[in-house]
Structure 1
Amino acid sequence: MSHDPKTASADIAADDTPAWWTGAVVYQIYPRSFQDSDGDGVGDLRGVLRRIDHLVELGVDVVWFSPIYRSPQDDNGYDISDYRDVDPLFGTLADLDEVIVALHERGIRVVMDLVVNHTSDEHPWFAESRSSRDSPRRDWYWWRPAREGMAAGAPGAEPTNWASAFSGPAWELDEATGEYYLHLFSRKQPDLNWENPDVRAAVYDMMRWWLDRGVDGFRMDVINLISKVVGADGSLADGVVVDGRFGDSRLQTVNGPRLHEFLQEMHREVFEGRREALLLVGETPGATVEDGRLFTDPSRRELDMVFTFEHVHIDHGPGGRFDLRPLDLRELKATMARWQHGLFDAGWNALYWENHDQPRSVSRFGDDSAYRRESATMLATVLHLHRGTPYVYQGEELGMTNAHLRELSDYRDIESLRFAAEARAHGRLTDEQLVEALGSGSRDNSRTPVQWDATASAGFTTGTPWIGVNPNHVTVNAEVERADPASVFHHYRRLIALRHDDPVVRLGDFALVAPDHPRVYAFTRSGEGPTLFVAGNFSGDPQNIEVDGVDPAYAELVIGNYDDRPPVASGVMTLRPWEAVVLRAAPHHP
């Protein structure tokens, strides 16, 4: 079915003008690994100032900063102890103000990570909440007594059987008050109780404070967990047991009954009057296409786009991220197409392969050795030609790979360390198997320092980096990439420029081609302008694909990752290993 891009644009912006972010590309900075300015081995804000020209040359429109707030750093900043200050590890508020001004002067907006499902246990709100059962802020967090008939602290006495993401049970006993508090993640990340209107008011006030400082929007961490299913008597129900004594809490914690009410209230209280200039993106684990429509339909006034997880879970085995399986490209295509079509007339997609929580895409979905450049540029081409807002994670534009760390002591991520400790304790994996699992699935794979040059610490620091530098930085680095016109870096520049220039890339219809082809991802984009045919070979062997939507005899090669056009005979194109190609129909030809 064909769609009219003008209609789609009207759905996005009430004045019939497409929202600015429909043609934007976002760059994610994970500050501790981007650039160190003072030699302490940790990236910082003054380091960002040093590398702004890199972002300008790349051509991105928005920078999203992973958390830089004050934090004990239990989960690398996603445990916040002060929402209104910068952690000294990264600099000062004055440094951040300087970064914001410098980016704005170059036409780049600034988005902050917003973590409001939980705080640090060292946040003053929580310190006051745990001070006594009568504290005015007791109800700002989820406190519950031990299970009826059981003594606090006894095995299984937790209020529910929920498991946390990082540390066993989702409840931690506070000895001083004799009650448990809820933490869906680390025990140092207690969940805020959004049922309490004072909590919401405090969060909204903090958000307005950041917007007044010049921030242009928020990426909202696990925002669809803020509403829990609560019984009329305030009770929380057990989940279905999935691992011994622990239950799956998702039915009680994901997309809860008041979630959309809270998001719409946030919109009214924080964003009204300055909405058009902002970017609001939510991280929504477990969200379906139907959920995505609700979150991002402009008429509902909630979010602009959401990070979905279906496509990055496709290669997970029963063991999750530490049990990666070979990618079934047909399943990936079907998932991506479902989101493309599902959000076309009411909503918007956020497009990504990798971020601070995902392994490097060229190692995961491509070939990070013999065909690193080809597979990295192919993956980029396929992603950026979809309808939505692409996100580039730092180093992705350089074709950075997994670090393939070989010692368990090399890892820093709380999730990876928890996995290793539990696997060792239960004898599930040998150390050799652990290293293999972490080498492909650990979040640390995307957190090694950005590779700026071939010097000892890749130009990241003059000191000892907080986590090891990938050994391949000698040949894979920004200096080398910038000097090579055919590099991954310059390919990203061309893709970003194409999105800026071509309305079909921004708003055109999406139609999958050859959905059952096991090795080629192909589709067309069509609308107000000549049709585009896009194809990517997800293999190291030549693959044939029938060209659809354009006449290859007359089509223009818009972008490719080889020096010449792929051969075409009788409408069938032969793609070389990891080749990507974008063809544009010539005027007056299909």
Structure 2
Amino acid sequence: GVDAIWLNPIYPSPLIDSGYDISNYTDIDPVFGTLQLFDEFVQQAHNRSLKVILDIVPNHSSDKHEWFVQSSQKNKHYSDYYIWANGSKDKKGNRMPPNNWVSTYSNEAGSAWTWHSTRQQWYYHKFHKSQPDLNLRNENVLQELLHVFDFWLRRNVDGFRISAVSYLYEDKDLRNELVVGSGNYTSGLPESTALVYKFRSYIDNWVKENSVGKYNSSKLLIVESYDSPDVLMSLYGNATHNGIPPFNFQFIKSIQNTSTAADIKKVLEDWLKKLPNNTGTNWVLSNHDNSRAATRIGLNRVDGLHMISLLLPGQAYTYYGEEIAMLDRRMLWNETIDPMGCSKSKETYGSYSRDPARTPMQWNANISAGFSSNKVTYLPVHPDYTERNVQSQQNNARSNWKTYKLLAALRKNRVFTHGDYRFATLNNDHVFAFKRYLANNPITYVVVINLGLRQETINLKSVFLELEDPAEVVIVSSNAAHIASNISVVNIILSANAALVLKFEENICETTTVPVTVPVTTEKNSAAISFSITQLITSTSVVVTLVFNLLRRY
């Protein structure tokens, strides 16, 4: 099943932005425990063959961090730790920010700057005003961040998710952007990519110098970026520097409940074709900044989506609760705590708040879904928790949880960790299918997903000519109806939104000769195994469950 746990920030924080406003990078927030308890947690995870991945936020700190407090007072050592500027005054004598850069919280020109009355200057913050951007052109700041990596590596963590690398650097001369909000001077700068390379080099060298024991031999690294495809590909590295793979957010950005099989095929093909040679990729259906897949794409499609994300080549990242198809919860204005939502009006907050996707994990039908013994939690539990929870899905004969568990086990098969793939669309784009196969291996798997709202009769031989009966059904979606253990490859009856994983043995001869009219893709699987770029990743069959940091027991 799951091989690793990625924790959102667990460091001391005012918790204005769910812990991404860090006031101390080398300690544990008392809400979650102590460093001693964290060490015990890591050890217990390792005892269960689970890796622990931490979230590192190098772009900004909290305004409560001692660095910022000292910087705001112009303490000589810390004075240049953040980005300060004088700004100007208009004709009426009103203070004006240094330029027209915008924050992620407002499209208003200059919104990325806040006046500090003590220092009598403006400070820059790409995110919330409580999250001032660090000045990464200051070598002392870089050394502080490298010390953070060192601190947690010495506590035996297994890797890092590095947050918001799009915004690490901004234009040194603080020039106005020609188009307000374009991000030309505040995101995707070459210096940001170069710093990712530096982080990679530092961690590589640390591993070489400190490789003692099973959990110090390699580290899993990944960066968060919503930059252009060219910038994303550059993060992998170049001829002289190893980089860090970026998250693949294509499913979050491009796939919705109206997406057809052709849409999904195109999204997958476009991304895989862009990957540098001999590199790996990853698949993400949801995260803490976006609507859950069950809400965004469709509750009844969740199992089929997991078949894609778990059985394609590469890593799979699963947001907590996704395995039981948790849904977004509609939040009232007075329930909203996300600063992104709180910064808007009562009429518009719902379009911006990330709270709906951040509700407590639904473990059982008890008080607060088994997440807490208290009736009140940091956000209200989704009202469907009495029916949709881990315990009930474990007890049901068929469930999203059971399907997920089977897929997580199957993905460790060599056909999926080392094999090639082919994509196809059928039945007027209502059905998406892909084949996983491995040279000199008698076993082939085919995944078939009905995205439509009606039952479909499917002939797989129309796209995969080499397939022969019988087709063994190894996994079915929890909503599939009347599926026998063996079915005919030319007469697969699949109910609305249902999905299957089929297994074929022997006499499978791969061919690239496909009728021109059939929409099939044949690709060499450059994404299956990557050693040169992702040496620190121990396996492409890693499944990471993201545990949102506010999912704490009160």
TM-score over 0.5 for the pair: yes
2:512: which partner in 1?
none
Of 188, 200, 217, 1:255 maps to 188
The reply on whether 1:523 has 2:455 as its aligned counterpart is: no
Of 552, 572, 583, 2:502 maps to 583
The reply on whether 1:417 has 2:342 as its aligned counterpart is: yes
TM-superposed deviation, 1:330: 3.3
1:220: which partner in 2?
162
Q: Distance in 1 between matches of 2:7 and 2:489?
A: 49
Contact kept in structure 2, 1:363 and 1:401, CA below 8 Å: yes
Distance 1:146 1:557, change over 3 A: same
TM-superposed deviation, 1:348: 1.7
Q: Distance in 1 between matches of 2:83 and 2:242?
A: 25
Of 128, 140, 155, 2:81 maps to 140
Contact kept in structure 2, 1:152 and 1:178, CA below 8 Å: no
Deviations 1:401-440 (A, max 9, x none): 12233x2222221112223x2xx5xxxxxx4xx48x44xx
Contact kept in structure 1, 2:436 and 2:444, CA below 8 Å: yes
Matches within 5 A, 1:87-166: 87-132=29-74, 135-147=76-88, 153-154=94-95, 157-166=96-105
TM-superposed deviation, 1:272: 1.6
1:470: which partner in 2?
382
Residue type at the aligned position of 1:269: Y
Q: Distance in 1 between matches of 2:140 and 2:92?
A: 32
Q: Distance in 2 between matches of 1:306 and 1:353?
A: 15
Q: Which runs of 5+ in 2 are unaligned?
A: 209-216, 510-554
Q: Distance in 1 between matches of 2:50 and 2:339?
A: 32
Residue type at the aligned position of 2:85: R
Matches within 5 A, 1:57-76: 59-76=1-18
TM-superposed deviation, 1:174: 1.1
The reply on whether 1:483 has 2:483 as its aligned counterpart is: no
1:229: which partner in 2?
171
Distance 1:139 1:300, change over 3 A: same
Deviations 1:9-43 (A, max 9, x none): xxxxxxxxxxxxxxxxxxxxxxxxxxxxxxxxxxx
Deviations 1:341-363 (A, max 9, x none): 33273322121111111212111
2:277: which partner in 1?
345
1:296: which partner in 2?
236
TM-superposed deviation, 1:539: 2.8
* SS of match in other structure, 1:83: coil
* SS of match in other structure, 2:190: coil
Distance 1:416 1:516, change over 3 A: farther
TM-superposed deviation, 1:392: 1.2
1:493: which partner in 2?
405
Distance 1:452 1:333, change over 3 A: same
Distance 1:300 1:100, change over 3 A: farther
Distance 1:574 1:124, change over 3 A: same
1:9: which partner in 2?
none
Q: Distance in 1 between matches of 2:103 and 2:474?
A: 48
Matches within 5 A, 1:135-534: 135-147=76-88, 153-154=94-95, 157-167=96-106, 169-230=111-172, 235-241=173-179, 247-274=180-207, 277-288=218-229, 290-297=230-237, 301-314=241-254, 326-327=258-259, 330-343=262-275, 345-367=277-299, 371=300, 375-405=301-331, 407-419=332-344, 421=345, 424=346, 431=347, 434=348, 437-438=350-351, 442-463=353-374, 464-500=376-412, 502-514=413-425, 517-528=428-439, 529=441, 530-534=443-447
* SS of match in other structure, 2:367: coil
2:473: which partner in 1?
557
Deviations 1:150-196 (A, max 9, x none): 78853xx2112111112550011112222111100000001111111
TM-superposed deviation, 1:564: 1.7
Return the TM-score normalized by structure 1.
0.77
Deviations 1:488-537 (A, max 9, x none): 1111111111111x222123223321289543222222334333322212
Contact kept in structure 1, 2:446 and 2:501, CA below 8 Å: yes
Distance 1:480 1:340, change over 3 A: same
1:17: which partner in 2?
none
TM-superposed deviation, 1:260: 2.8
TM-superposed deviation, 1:299: 6.5
Contact kept in structure 2, 1:356 and 1:446, CA below 8 Å: yes
Residue type at the aligned position of 1:556: E
Of 430, 443, 453, 1:540 maps to 453
Contact kept in structure 2, 1:554 and 1:589, CA below 8 Å: no
Return the TM-score normalized by structure 2.
0.82
Deviations 1:201-254 (A, max 9, x none): 110011111000111110011123212233xxxx1222244xxxxx11422122
Percent of aligned pairs with the same residue?
28
Q: Distance in 1 between matches of 2:407 and 2:487?
A: 23
Across the aligned residues of Structure 1 and Structure 2, the Cα RMSD in angstroms comes to 2.6
Q: Distance in 2 between matches of 1:79 and 1:330?
A: 41
Distance 1:518 1:135, change over 3 A: farther
2:490: which partner in 1?
571
Residue type at the aligned position of 2:270: R
Q: Distance in 1 between matches of 2:260 and 2:227?
A: 20
* SS of match in other structure, 2:235: helix
1:22: which partner in 2?
none
Distance 1:281 1:580, change over 3 A: same
Instruction: Report which of the two has the higher share of helix.
Output: 1
Distance 1:519 1:342, change over 3 A: same
Contact kept in structure 1, 2:233 and 2:276, CA below 8 Å: no
TM-superposed deviation, 1:486: 1.5
1:41: which partner in 2?
none
TM-superposed deviation, 1:131: 0.7
Q: Distance in 1 between matches of 2:84 and 2:92?
A: 16
* SS of match in other structure, 1:98: helix
Q: Distance in 2 between matches of 1:177 and 1:72?
A: 22
Deviations 1:295-316 (A, max 9, x none): 235966544432133432236x
Q: Distance in 2 between matches of 1:509 and 1:310?
A: 20
Residue type at the aligned position of 1:254: S
Deviations 1:367-386 (A, max 9, x none): 3xxx4xxx221221122121
1:30: which partner in 2?
none
Contact kept in structure 2, 1:117 and 1:192, CA below 8 Å: yes
* SS of match in other structure, 2:404: helix
Distance 1:570 1:129, change over 3 A: closer
Contact kept in structure 2, 1:387 and 1:506, CA below 8 Å: yes
